């Protein structure tokens, strides 16, 4: 993985089954977005940007906090 694909955000919160621990570190092309939506089976997990950051290894990551989930319409 080169630096262009290295994680730059951390997804925090939600139920343990919402997002696996290894999926909480993410690369976003634009980490300045306000909201992130992650498809998990038949639902979307929604996260919003916070002013918080966290350090993982030698990287400072922007934290997105879980706000809700919505279900995919059939």
The pLDDT tens digits of the residues spanning 1-41 come to 446 679 999 999 987 677 888 889 999 999 899 999 999 88
Q: Is 49 within a domain? A: no
30-69 pLDDT, tens digit per residue, is: 989 999 999 988 999 999 999 999 999 999 999 999 999 9
User: Is the residue at 68 inside a domain?
Assistant: yes
CA dihedral in degrees (11, 52, 13, 41; nearest 10)? -20
- For residue 13, give its domain range: 1-33+58-74
In a domain, 52, yes or no: no
Q: Which helix (H) or strand (E) holds 45?
A: strand 43-56
Domain annotation covers residue 27: yes
How long is the chain? 74
Alpha-carbon gap, residue 40 to 59, rounded angstroms = 26
**DSSP at 61:** E
């Amino acid at each position: 993985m080169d630096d262009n694909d290295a994680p730059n955000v951390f997804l925090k919160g939600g139920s343990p089954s919402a997002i696996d621990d290894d999926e909480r570190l993410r690369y976003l092309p634009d980490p300045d977005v306000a909201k992130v939506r992650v498809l998990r089976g038949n639902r979307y997990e929604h996260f919003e940007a916070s002013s918080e950051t966290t350090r993982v290894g030698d990287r400072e990551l922007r934290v997105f906090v879980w706000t809700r989930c919505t279900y995919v319409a059939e």
